[in-house]
Amino acid sequence: MQNVVEWLKENGNLKIIDDALDVELEIPHVAYIEVKTDDSRPILFTKPINKAKGIEYDMPVLMNIFANKELTEKIFGKHPDEVAEGIGELLKLKPPKGLKAKLAMIPKLFSLKNVFPKRLNFKGECQEVIIPKEEVDLDMLPILKTWEEDGGPFITMGQVYTQSLDGEMQNLGMYRLQQYDKNRLGMHWQIHKDASHFFDQYQRAGKKMPVTVAIGGDPLYIWCGQAPMPHGMFEMLLYGFVRNKNAQLVKSITNDIYIPRDVDVVIEGFVDPELMEIEGPFGDHTGYYTLKEPFPVMDVETITMKKNPVFQATVVGKPPLEDKYMGWATERIFLPMLKPMAPDLIDYNMPENGVFHNLILAKMKTLYPGHAQQFMHAFWGVGQMSFVKHALFVGEDAPELEESEALAKHILNRLDKNKVLITQGIVDHLDHSSSEQFVGGKLGVDATGDEVENGVEELLSDKDLLEKMQEISARVVGLKQYMKKTKTPVCVIAVDKKKSQLKLIKKLKVLKKHIKLLIIVDNINNDLKDAYMLIWRIVNNIDASRDVTLAPFIAIDATNKSEVDGYEREWPGDTFCTKEVLDMLQEKGLIDIDEAFIKKFGLLPF
């Protein structure tokens, strides 16, 4: 994969767009639409421009690299399950007994020498062009602005390399980077990440922190950057394990951080631990904007690059996105690492419309009462799994976890409010639903047992049930029931919200013989017929400790929160496309969408 573009032409059905398109909104909108199509492809934009700044870039933009499962598997060179199998074997390694066992282990141990990155003592291809500090200008890079309300342009596929104060530990992370001006970037490393921990060390010591950002090269680098490696382990070890060859690293020009020799662009600099600047807003992978917040600032010392670099970028917003396929690989590969702390775990799945950390489905062998609850606590207590907000556990007799409809029926037939666990713990930095940042409610559902005995006492039609609800509250404006043939039909209602929905839930107690599971959403920007996006909305919008009640029936308030709910933080808005940009791209024939597509994926407000 020395030449990623040529490789994608041969292996990924690369789409090439030669029209001059703006890095602000236009290029990101094309990629955002593409990744949602059934035959999603990687795209190379050969003529990026910036209309506002009057710039014509000589560097193409490559997007949607992880366009589908097939291409993701090709990037890895093998199915992610094969990588997982190799990791599983390593975790089971024991000291060999006897000469025969020792000889049998030699090939396996010999292959491990390829895991460790190799530091070269010469410059790499990424340093063919070196731009000194006095000539640094980030405007030479086609940095994208994806959404109208973004605080500026953002590097979205940057490999951020940092090291501990003592130089003993190195980290590779994938963090967004806001361009402030010609030589400064906002460092959005979240409070729970290794780079943030390193920053704390430099801050206590009163020293500037070196940072090197790489863009491009082997797509596997960026996947490694988002992989949930154990604390202190350099992510490039994972690259060596997958590729079965050493990552070849070269020293940065202005600091001691090593980066892959074959990346396209390198941005080197230092972070002053005393200086912070407002970063954001940014339309993030949750499908919501993350709000303005102070973060460290990187002063750029130099930019280096290949002679003919390609600028890699990704687009984030509402699912499905490119991270769907990156996350699929991560999910498969890290299964063996979860099993030591949950040995009876069979499989797990993090659906993309659950935005990964918001929803996990897990299949397990249940050996005793409370076993699923034990797993819930184990998940919530380790590594990045501790950010998971909602965990649903099923037994080994359940359908495959990706068979969403069959699995939903299985769970709803076993849903018992006495086996619903609500607790508290840490939540992701990007989570907006908790009343307190970083801490929020957790929901665990034990659906590992037998089917519950009783269903809804009297199931009504949608029309009749809506009429009864509207007699109680005229603010209920829509209703749809799902999975009516299960023991726990799902009743979703849309409301014109003015007050806390806890009051409405109490009023609806008189209808408890018609309802077992009630979900409330806002009427604005929600389609009650679109289950995929409803799940996305629900798991984003709830804090279980505040928004889930178990009596008189299970009720979930997934409306946007405000002061009427005792919510005092600022509630963020959805990421929406710009209609004028969509219309222009449609007229040019660069996208092909209709009103149904727009509504299905929530591209525009409605």
| Residue 181 per-residue DSSP state | S
pLDDT at res. 549? 95
Q: In Å, how far from its chain's centre is CA 236?
A: 20
**Phi then psi for 27, rounded to 5 degrees?**
-60, -45
pLDDT at res. 94? 59
Tokens of 50: 């910036």
How many Cα atoms within 13 Å fall on the side-chain side of residue 18? 0
pLDDT along the chain (606 residues), means of 10: 86 96 98 95 98 96 96 94 81 59 56 83 96 96 97 96 90 93 91 76 92 96 86 86 92 96 97 92 94 94 96 95 91 84 88 89 92 88 83 95 95 95 90 92 94 93 96 96 96 96 94 96 96 96 95 95 94 96 97 94 94
Tokens of 294: 């102070």
* Total residue count of the chain as it appears in this document: 606
How far apart are alpha carbons 448 and 411 in whole angstroms? 8
Q: Are strands 517-522 and 554-557 parallel, antiparallel or unpaired?
A: parallel
**Phi then psi for 512, rounded to 5 degrees?**
-65, -20
pLDDT at res. 420? 95
Asked whether the CA dihedral 89, 227, 192, 319 is positive or negative, the reply is: negative
Tokens of 178: 């806001």
**CA nearest to 192, candidates 426, 456, 356, 390:** 426
pLDDT at res. 97? 63
Q: Are strands 129-131 and 293-305 parallel, antiparallel or unpaired?
A: antiparallel
Tokens of 127: 């340093």
Name the residue type at position 437.
Q
| Residue 436 per-residue DSSP state | B
Is the CB of residue 511 less than 8 Å from the CB of residue 400? Answer: no
Other Cβ atoms closer than 10 A to 116: 14
Tokens of 231: 């604390």
DSSP letter string, 140-178: GS--BB-STT-SS-EE-S-EEEEE-TTSS-EEEEE--EE
**Phi then psi for 448, rounded to 5 degrees?**
-90, -10
pLDDT at res. 104? 59
Question: Which residues, including other chains, have CB under 8 Å from residue 591's CB and lie 6 or more apart?
Answer: 29, 30, 33, 34, 582, 585
How far apart are alpha carbons 572 and 541 in whole angstroms? 11
Q: Are strands 311-313 and 61-63 parallel, antiparallel or unpaired?
A: parallel
Beta bridge partners of 549: 555
Question: Which residues, including other chains, have CB under 8 Å from residue 418's CB and lie 6 or more apart?
Answer: none
Tokens of 136: 């640094």
Q: In Å, how far from its chain's centre is CA 171?
A: 19
* Burial environment of residue 554 by CB neighbours within 10 A (0 to 12, 13 to 18, 19 or more): buried
pLDDT at res. 113? 77
How far apart are alpha carbons 130 and 203 in whole angstroms? 29
pLDDT at res. 93? 53
Is the CB of residue 390 less than 8 Å from the CB of residue 442? Answer: yes
DSSP H helices in 422-517: 462-472, 501-507
Q: Which domains does the chain have, with CATH numbers?
A: 4-313 (2.30.110.10), 341-447 (3.40.1670.10), 462-565 (3.40.1670.10), 576-606 (no CATH)
SS3 242: helix
How far apart are alpha carbons 444 and 380 in whole angstroms? 10
Is the CB of residue 207 less than 8 Å from the CB of residue 165? Answer: yes
Tokens of 434: 């908790």
How far apart are alpha carbons 146 and 72 in whole angstroms? 24
pLDDT at res. 195? 73
Q: Are strands 43-50 and 15-22 parallel, antiparallel or unpaired?
A: parallel
SS3 469: helix
Q: Are strands 248-251 and 258-260 parallel, antiparallel or unpaired?
A: antiparallel
Beta bridge partners of 300: 269
DSSP H helices in 342-486: 371-380, 404-412, 462-472
